[in-house]
């Protein structure tokens, strides 16, 4: 039952529109054509009217969504109409063999067009019941033989549907495991990135603690000597600011460390992504005497992403840039945010002299790395960006190493 609930039957009709149109055109036209080509066979107008009436009543009382949304319902309904209409034509023409014979391939078709086992079983029971009634009205030995063939075809249809469902369940389970492994890889990369910036974060927290310690000493001396109210208020204000600064750093680190596998995207200002990333990376960069230039968009431009995910992407790029330039003379890193047409671009450039073609060809692959680490940084970043319909690409700028993240505007 849990497996059944996990299937969205409507997902499995990629060519539903043309299929339904073709089915209805054939169904509504082939009757008059038969009357023209074979005058002895009768396909009365009221049988077509019965089709339209039955279709309309079922749709109305079920209050289903439009065909484009509820594809499975309409495909199965059409098959039920066939099972109802063909035996009626057989009884009208006193030839149940010809019309009921068509139900046999229809039974096999029913088992192959849907993963809904209940719909297949109900259709087979319905088709066999209608054919049984037609046999009761117009009994014949040939009719009995066709009826037995239909029963056999119905059993085969059920078996086909069961086998297809098991294959689908296997694919769904593999996809679920793959999604979990990807989420773990993203989280592992995130933890690796945190480890790389830990020194800078520790330094960033240590500065406010030093400030707090110094002002506590001042307050202690102030209490021992003549009480200076202005000094007391000023010291408390600086202590409060230092505490808030430490809290902001810890909050940013905690937010970044969250597992965002189940998190939803939201409209985010592109500049917010930059701010969140720099809150963790700027101390590591500045403490190594690396010049950091940030050029943001003056007005708010929104993208539909998860801010934690995109902060991880930018942080990965900044860490890679840091590793590439930290030992160079006069190192620098630049971040540019700009928009063009319907896209927002975030470019991270460093003073490195580019990347060798041999590395470019492989650097987006999982587990490829030119330094000690998991080798998942760029691969994970690429997957995250693509999840939000964006791209991550290496585009050298004036001979320097440069990566561009392109995201569609919200």
Residues 268-318 pLDDT 10s: 898 888 888 887 777 778 778 889 899 888 888 899 988 878 888 888 888
In this prediction, residue 63 has a pLDDT band, given cuts at 50, 70 and 90, of low
Q: Which two tokens stand for residue 53?
A: 């009436």
Residue labelled with tokens 């085969």: 156
CA 393 to chain centre: 21
Nearest residue to 384 (alpha-carbon basis) of 260, 276, 257, 254: 260
Nearest residue to 239 (alpha-carbon basis) of 257, 222, 255: 222
In this prediction, residue 88 has a pLDDT band, given cuts at 50, 70 and 90, of confident
CA distances from 280 to 190, 249, 301 (A): 12, 7, 23
CA distances from 234 to 110, 212, 241, 244 (A): 81, 12, 11, 16
Report DSSP state, residue 410: -
The pLDDT of residue 1: 41
Spell out where 242-396 has E strands. Answer: 266-269, 291-295, 302-305, 332-340, 343-350, 391-394
Do the Cβ atoms of 254 and 182 come closer than 8 Å? Answer: no
The bridge status of strand 332-340 relative to strand 343-350 is antiparallel
Lowest mean pLDDT among 6-15, 54-63, 236-245, 281-290: 6-15
Nearest residue to 28 (alpha-carbon basis) of 42, 15, 45, 53: 45
Question: Can you name the residues that pair with 303 across neighbouring β-strands?
Answer: 268, 409
Mean pLDDT of 322-335: 88
Which helix (H) or strand (E) element contains residue 406? strand 402-408
The bridge status of strand 332-340 relative to strand 302-305 is unpaired
3-class secondary structure, 339 = strand
Length of the chain: 410
Q: Which tens digits make up the pLDDT trace of 192-224?
A: 666 656 655 665 566 667 667 776 777 777 677
What DSSP assignment string belongs to 182-228? HHHHHHHHHHHHHHHHHHHHHHHHHHHHHHHHHHHHHHHHHHHSS--
Nearest residue to 301 (alpha-carbon basis) of 340, 255, 275: 340
- Give CA–CA dist 380/312, Å, rounded: 9
Nearest residue to 247 (alpha-carbon basis) of 279, 275, 270: 279
* Domain 266-408 falls under CATH 3.40.190.80: no
In this prediction, what percent of the chain has a pLDDT beyond 90? 10
CA 340 to chain centre: 25
Do the Cβ atoms of 13 and 71 come closer than 8 Å? Answer: yes
Hey, which of 35-49, 61-75, 168-182, 234-248 has the most confident mean pLDDT? 168-182
In this prediction, residue 105 has a pLDDT band, given cuts at 50, 70 and 90, of confident
pLDDT beyond 50 at 138 = yes
3-class secondary structure, 112 = helix
Which helix (H) or strand (E) element contains residue 166? helix 141-224
Q: Which tens digits make up the pLDDT trace of 147-197?
A: 898 899 999 999 998 998 888 888 888 888 887 777 776 666 666 666 656
Q: Would you tell me how many other CB atoms lie within 10 Å of the CB of residue 85?
A: 20
CA distances from 346 to 67, 75, 252, 385 (A): 41, 46, 20, 12
Sign of the dihedral defined by the CA atoms of residues 141, 143, 147, 152, in that order: positive
């Amino acid at each position: 039952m849990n497996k059944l609930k996990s299937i969205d039957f409507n997902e499995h009709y990629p060519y539903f529109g043309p299929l339904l149109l073709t089915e209805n055109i054939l169904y509504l036209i082939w009757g008059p054509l038969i009357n023209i080509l074979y005058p002895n066979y009768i396909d009365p107008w009221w049988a077509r009217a019965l089709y339209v009436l039955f279709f309309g009543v079922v749709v109305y009382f079920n209050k289903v969504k439009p065909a484009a949304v509820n594809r499975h319902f309409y495909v199965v309904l059409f098959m039920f109409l066939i099972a109802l209409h063909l035996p009626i034509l057989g009884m009208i023409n006193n030839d149940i063999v010809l019309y009921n014979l068509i139900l046999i391939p229809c039974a096999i078709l029913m088992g192959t067009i849907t993963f809904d086992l209940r719909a297949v079983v109900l259709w087979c029971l319905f088709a066999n019941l209608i054919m049984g009634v037609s046999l009761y009205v117009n009994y014949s030995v040939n009719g009995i033989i066709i009826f037995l063939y239909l029963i056999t075809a119905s059993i085969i249809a059920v078996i086909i549907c069961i086998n297809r469902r098991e294959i689908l369940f296997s694919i769904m389970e593999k996809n679920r495991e793959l999604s979990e492994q990807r989420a773990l890889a993203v989280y592992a990369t995130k933890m690796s990135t945190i480890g790389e910036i830990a020194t800078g974060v520790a330094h960033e927290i240590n500065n406010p603690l030093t400030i707090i310690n110094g002002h506590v000493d001042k307050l202690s001396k102030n209490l021992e000597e003549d009480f200076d109210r202005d000094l007391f208020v000023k010291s408390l204000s600086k202590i409060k600011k230092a505490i808030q600064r430490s809290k902001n750093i810890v909050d940013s680190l905690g937010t970044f460390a969250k597992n965002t596998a189940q998190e939803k995207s939201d409209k985010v200002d592109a500049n917010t992504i930059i701010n969140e990333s720099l809150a963790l990376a700027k101390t590591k960069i500045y403490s190594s005497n690396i010049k950091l230039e940030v050029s943001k968009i003056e007005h708010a431009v929104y993208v539909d992403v998860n801010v934690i995910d995109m902060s991880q992407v930018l942080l990965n790029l900044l860490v890679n840039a840091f590793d590439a330039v930290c030992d160079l003379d006069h190192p620098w890193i630049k971040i540019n945010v700009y928009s063009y047409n319907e896209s927002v671009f975030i470019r991270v450039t460093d003073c490195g002299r580019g990347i060798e073609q041999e590395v470019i060809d492989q650097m987006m692959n999982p587990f490829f790395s030119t330094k000690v680490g998991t080798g998942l940084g760029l691969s994970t970043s690429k997957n995250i960006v693509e999840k939000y319909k964006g791209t991550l690409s290496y585009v050298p700028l004036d001979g320097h190493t440069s990566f561009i993240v392109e995201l569609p505007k919200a």
